[in-house]
Amino acid sequence: MTTDVGIIGLGRYLPSEVRTNEDVAARTPGVNAEWVGRRTGVLTRHVAAPGEAASDLATPAAEAALSAAGLDPAQVSLLVVATTTADEPSPATACRVQASLGAVNAVSFDVNGACAGWLFAVKIARDWLRDNPSSGYAVVIGVEVFSRFLDPDDRATAVIFGDGAAAAVLGPVPGGAGFDDIRLGTESALADAVVVPGGGSRMPASLSTVEQRAHTIRMDGRAVTQFFRSQFPQLLYGLLEDHDLKLDDIDAFACHQANPVLLQAVAAEHGIDPDRLIVVADRIGNIGSGCTPYAIAEAVARGRVRQGSRVILVAFGAGMTWGSALLTWAPDVRLLDAPPALTTRPKESA
C-alpha cells in the first residue's frame, strides 16, 4: 500500500538588495521604468550579494521549511535542489546545502529542469517517499541566482530575472491530501529558445567566451511566448478533465511566471479568477525553478488555501520543459520566511 505524500512545510528566502525598474533602466539601454512595468509586470526583483551563491539562498529557505514542519534536518532522507545556476559545475549544489543544514542522513542531488525543475524534483521526491514509507521526509528546493548570468544590454532578459529560493518539505499526509497527479514533459525542438551557451563541455570557459558574453542567458521571447500560450491550456484542461473538475473547483493557481503580464492575460483568456491566480513575479521577478514553490507559499501567506483546497501548478522552462500538478492541501501546513525577506507589496506602478 502506497503512502499519500504532500507538502507539510514551506520556506522562502530573498536576498536583501532590491533592484527597481528605475535601477534596471539605468543599466539597460533602450528601456525606461514605465516600459518595463507595462510590458512585463515586474516592478522589483532581488539580487544576491557578492559572494552569495545558490546554496546560500537555498539553505535558509530549507531551514525555514523544516522549522515550519517541526522537523530536524537529520529526519530528511532526500534533498533535491532544482537549479540552473549551481554554485559550481561540480559537486551538486544539494551537497553544499546538505552540509550547511546538517542533513546527515539525506541522499542529495540536483535537478536541472530549468524553470519547471522544481516540479521535476517534486515528482522524484513524491515517488521516493510514497514507495518507501519508512524513509522519512524530503526537502525540495527551487533556487536561482540569475543576476550572475544576465547581459545588461539585453532587454529581453535583463528586465525580468531575479534571485531567490523557496523550499518545501514533503512527507506523509492524511488520505485524500497530497499530490494527486504530476505530469512532466519536454519539447526538445525548442532547446535553443532559452540557453546559456558558454561554460559547458561544448563551449568551455575561455577569454573568448567571456568577451562574447556567452555565459549569459539568451532567449527567443517570441518562441517562449508562443509555447506558453499553446501549452498552458492543454496542461490546465488536461488535469481538470482527467480528475472530473471545473475551474471553480480550484482554489489557487500557483504557476511559474516568466512574465506576469503574459500569465495574467492567458489566465484571463481561459476564465481563471484573478483572485485565485497567485502572482508573485511583480515583486520578485522570474526566479526560475523557485517561482512555483514561491507562489505556493504565497497562497498560504494570503490565506488562499486550507485543508482540502485544490491547487493547480503549471511551469515551463528552457529545454523546453514543462510540468503540471494537482495538489490537495493537507492540514496544518505552515510557512516561514527566512530573513531578510520581502513582506510588503510595492505600489502598483512602474
Determine the pLDDT at residue 252.
Answer: 98
Instruction: State yes or no: is 286 an active-site residue.
Output: yes
Within 8 A by CB and 6+ apart from 78, the residues are 106, 107, 108, 124, 125, 128, 129, 135, 137, 138, 139
Determine the pLDDT at residue 132.
Answer: 85
Q: Which of 21, 255, 286, 291 is catalytic?
A: 286
Which residue in 80, 77, 91 sits closest to 58, CA to CA?
Answer: 80
Which residue in 98, 48, 55 sits closest to 77, CA to CA?
Answer: 98
Q: pLDDT digit string (tens) for 106-157? A: 999 999 999 999 999 999 999 999 988 888 899 999 999 999 999 999 999 9
Determine the pLDDT at residue 134.
Answer: 85
Alpha-carbon distance of 256 to 227, in angstroms, equals 14
Q: pLDDT digit string (tens) for 35-48? A: 999 999 999 999 99
Q: Which of 21, 46, 256, 291 is catalytic?
A: 256
Instruction: State yes or no: is 256 an active-site residue.
Output: yes
Instruction: State yes or no: is 115 an active-site residue.
Output: yes
Determine the pLDDT at residue 346.
Answer: 42
Alpha carbon 283 to its chain's center:
14
pLDDT (tens place) for every residue of the chain, 350 residues total:
568 999 999 999 999 999 999 999 999 998 999 999 999 999 999 999 999 999 999 999 999 999 999 999 999 999 999 999 999 999 999 999 999 999 999 999 999 999 999 999 999 999 999 988 888 899 999 999 999 999 999 999 999 999 999 999 999 999 899 999 999 999 999 999 999 999 999 999 999 999 999 999 999 999 999 999 999 999 999 999 999 999 999 999 999 998 999 999 999 999 999 999 999 999 999 999 999 999 999 999 999 999 999 999 999 999 999 999 999 999 999 999 998 644 333 444 33
Alpha-carbon distance of 294 to 67, in angstroms, equals 17
Determine the pLDDT at residue 269.
Answer: 96
| Domains 5-176 and 179-331 alike in fold | yes
Residue type, 300: V
Full-model pTM: 0.94
Alpha-carbon distance of 45 to 285, in angstroms, equals 5
CATH code, residues 179-331: 3.40.47.10
Determine the pLDDT at residue 2.
Answer: 66
Domain ranges of the chain: 5-176, 179-331
Alpha-carbon distance of 216 to 124, in angstroms, equals 29
Determine the pLDDT at residue 175.
Answer: 87
Q: Which CATH class is domain 5-176?
A: alpha beta
Determine the pLDDT at residue 336.
Answer: 94
Q: Which of 115, 255, 259, 291 is catalytic?
A: 115
Which residue in 49, 132, 141 sits closest to 103, CA to CA?
Answer: 141
